[in-house]
């Protein structure tokens, strides 16, 4: 049995007054909504909600993209909220949200700590007004893993077996540590520092010269003129529908059947502890005109990898490597993989934000040195090489008369294509529908993507997704989706291309103090 101990400290060292409720118990809130700590991007969700609890969203001015930051609302609920605001004018009290079709008392309770009503703006405060946050966490596992156990030479018949076991022993204590510090001056500038060690990782060794296994620093300045934002240090990227680049929380198949449209924030400071999905360097967001946004960035960092054996039978032996993405550096074997690869990335994005549509074009280039190996197994023949890869994509969003269209189409330098296109309709009272088609060539790869897919790598797949969300009564919600998909080439542990389909239905009835949910799932095929 595992016991995890968390110690969380959230301090505002310099007192400040903000228009917000007291910081809610976010982990309890996520647990109430069946979002577990083991899920991907859980930490990113916590960071975003902590930020919103301090700087809540103004319901009377926020658009679709901003409201998507409220993870608890579906796309259809946001559509209904915006339609209600357009017809009836500005909100005067949060409880007015209960008048909107599809928003229940539970939905209001979920988002209430992160929204506000009114014209309050942080700029009214002094420019010297600072807020500071410290987040500290200790994580311990019990019982201890086998990697902490000590062995004597007498326990092994052969010396090599003893050496192998010794090299696999964890070098650090069975305690994971996390320390985050953030300082900001309202929305003008902010700085952040993240230090993290997993259980079993040591401190101040030749592989952890900074003391901690993972160190992340960023400084962000927002002048809000032609230069909208500048970030130096670590940052994340969210473009289009995720076919080229997307880091952080990514919506996918879930019981919230109409939450498939992505709304990225472009470049943003990186505050998570994932040691792979981030960029390091400098990034800038420009607003040359009121309707045009341009983003440009350059990144260079070292990342983990496994060096492959040299092929001495070829005339020119080229060193290659494979990615190592666990983030663990607990023993000598894992530490040898740290920072083997050099990763250079640069890109450019330009978006036109019109009143009735949005369209953008993105260009991404990256290179791994040494290049990545494709592998010898049948499922590895189309693997990413990461050697001088250039990709370009176009994404769009538009809507009218309760119809909403969105999508992105991308092409990589090797001629492979990827496309995703969705249609959502919210014109029927208490009912919303969506359809989503995706096609990712088996040769299409982007190291930074996170598009809607059956698997997380957004490649080698075609599928059609149909979703339905209905609220026949105020306290009753029905979500159903059907997804049919196929793969163009064999996947892991498969010898032939696979296909499958999935049907999921979820019925939830809630009252003010309790809720009841019934879910059914049927899946066939796959691989």
pLDDT 10s digits, 85-129: 999 999 999 999 999 988 888 889 889 999 998 754 444 445 567
Average the pLDDT over 273-296 and give the result: 94
Q: How far is CA 527 from the centre of its chain?
A: 25
- Dig out the tokens for 382 from the structure: 């189309």
pLDDT 10s digits, 30-42: 877 777 665 567 7
- CB-based burial, 320-344: b 16+ in 10 Å, e otherwise: bbbbbeebbbbbeebbebbebbebe
pLDDT 10s digits, 325-359: 999 999 988 999 999 999 999 999 999 998 889 99
CA dihedral 384, 301, 198, 194 (to 10 degrees): -130
pLDDT 10s digits, 195-209: 999 999 999 887 777
410 or 25, higher pLDDT:
410
**Taking the CB of residue 29, how many other CB atoms lie within 10 A of it?**
18
Q: Which residues pair with 234 in a beta bridge?
A: 280
Question: At which residue do the structure tokens 């949910």 appear?
Answer: 517
pLDDT 10s digits, 136-156: 889 887 777 888 888 888 888
Closest alpha carbon to 269 in 278, 261, 260: 278
Question: At which residue do the structure tokens 């009114």 appear?
Answer: 118
**Taking the CB of residue 392, how many other CB atoms lie within 10 A of it?**
17
Closest alpha carbon to 68 in 32, 111, 100: 111
Question: At which residue do the structure tokens 């769009």 appear?
Answer: 396
**Report field, pTM of the whole predicted structure over 0.85:** yes
Q: How far is CA 259 from the centre of its chain?
A: 14
SS3 content of the chain, % helix, strand, coil (to 5): 15, 40, 45
167 φ, ψ to 5°? -70, -25
Judge whether 298 and 166 are in contact, CB under 8 Å: no
- Dig out the tokens for 441 from the structure: 């060539």
- Dig out the tokens for 75 from the structure: 């796309």
- Dig out the tokens for 379 from the structure: 């499922």
CA dihedral 22, 28, 33, 37 (to 10 degrees): 120
């Amino acid at each position: 049995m595992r016991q995890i101990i968390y110690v969380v400290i959230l301090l505002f060292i310099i007192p400040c007054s903000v228009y917000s409720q007291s910081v809610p118990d976010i982990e309890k809130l996520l647990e109430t909504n069946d979002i577990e700590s083991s899920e991907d991007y859980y930490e990113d969700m916590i960071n975003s909600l902590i930020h919103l609890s301090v700087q809540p969203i103004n319901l009377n001015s926020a658009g679709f993209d901003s409201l998507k930051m409220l993870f608890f609302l579906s796309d259809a609920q946001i559509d209904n909220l915006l339609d209600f605001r357009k017809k009836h004018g500005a909100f005067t009290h949060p409880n007015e949200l209960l008048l909107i079709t599809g928003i229940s008392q539970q939905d209001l309770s979920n988002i209430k700590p992160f929204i506000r009503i009114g014209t309050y703006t942080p700029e009214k405060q002094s420019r010297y007004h600072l807020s500071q946050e410290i987040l500290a966490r200790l994580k311990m596992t019990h019982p201890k893993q086998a990697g902490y156990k000590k062995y004597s030479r007498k326990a092994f018949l052969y010396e090599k077996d003893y050496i192998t076991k010794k090299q696999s022993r964890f070098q650090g204590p069975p305690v994971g540590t996390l320390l985050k510090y953030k300082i900001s001056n309202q929305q003008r500038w902010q700085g952040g520092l993240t230090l993290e060690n997993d259980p079993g990782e040591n401190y101040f060794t030749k592989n952890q010269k900074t003391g901690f296994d993972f160190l992340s620093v960023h400084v962000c300045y927002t002048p809000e003129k032609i230069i909208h934002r500048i970030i130096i240090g670590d940052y994340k990227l969210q473009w289009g529908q995720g076919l080229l680049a997307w880091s952080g929380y990514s919506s996918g198949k879930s019981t919230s059947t109409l939450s498939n449209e992505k709304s990225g924030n472009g470049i943003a400071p990186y505050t998570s502890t994932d040691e792979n999905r981030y960029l390091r360097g400098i990034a800038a967001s420009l607003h040359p005109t009121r309707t045009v946004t341009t983003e440009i960035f350059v990144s260079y960092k070292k990342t983990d990898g496994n060096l492959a054996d040299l092929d001495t039978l070829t005339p020119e032996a080229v060193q290659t490597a494979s990615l190592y993405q666990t983030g663990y550096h607990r023993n000598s074997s894992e530490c040898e993989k740290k920072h083997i690869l050099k990763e250079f990335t640069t890109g450019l994005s330009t978006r036109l934000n019109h009143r009735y549509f949005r369209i953008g074009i993105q260009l991404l280039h990256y290179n791994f040195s040494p290049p990545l190996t494709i592998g010898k197994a049948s499922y590895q023949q189309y693997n990413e090489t990461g050697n001088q890869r250039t990709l370009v994509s176009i994404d769009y969003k538009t809507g009218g008369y309760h119809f909403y269209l969105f999508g992105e189409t991308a092409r990589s330098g090797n001629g492979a294509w990827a496309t995703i296109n969705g249609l959502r309709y919210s014109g029927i009272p208490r009912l919303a529908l969506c359809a989503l088609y995706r096609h990712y060539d088996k040769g299409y790869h982007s190291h930074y993507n996170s598009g809607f897919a059956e698997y997380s790598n957004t490649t080698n797949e075609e599928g059609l997704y149909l979703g339905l969300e209905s609220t026949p009564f105020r306290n009753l919600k029905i979500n159903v989706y059907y997804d049919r998909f196929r793969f163009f080439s064999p996947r892991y542990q498969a010898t032939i291309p696979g296909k499958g389909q999935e049907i999921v239905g979820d019925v939830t009835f809630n009252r003010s103090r309790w809720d009841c949910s019934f879910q059914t799932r049927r899946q066939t095929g796959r691989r």
